[in-house]
């Protein structure tokens, strides 16, 4: 369980830095506003999927197994 928590903390730090960098660099890209909105929505969807993955890992480490789709 400790190994899982350490891995999740490291993953959250790395993803947080990547999220911050993308948010800082996104306004510098010269594209139209509709496309910028599409990119922002896609980023939020990806972030939510990652958060759900982290929650499922914590539940699995705690002994609660959740049925998930395997790709």
- The confidence score (pLDDT) of residue 65 equals 74
pLDDT at 6: 84
pLDDT at 41: 92
Q: Which of 56, 54, 48 is nearest to 19 (CA)?
A: 48
What pLDDT score does 9 carry?
84
Going from N- to C-terminal start, the domains of the chain cover: 30-63
Residue with tokens 């539940």: 59
Per-residue pLDDT of the chain (71 residues; tens, 9 = 90+): 677 778 778 888 888 898 899 889 888 889 888 888 898 899 899 988 888 888 887 787 777 777 766 65
How far apart CA 61 and CA 50 sit, in angstroms, is 17
């Amino acid at each position: 369980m400790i190994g899982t928590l350490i891995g999740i903390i490291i993953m959250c730090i790395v993803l947080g830095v990547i999220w911050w960098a993308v948010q800082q660099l996104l306004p510098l890209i010269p594209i139209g506003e509709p496309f910028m909105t599409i990119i922002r929505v896609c980023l939020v969807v990806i972030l939510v999927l990652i958060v759900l993955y982290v929650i499922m890992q914590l539940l699995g480490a705690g002994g609660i197994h959740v049925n998930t789709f395997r790709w």
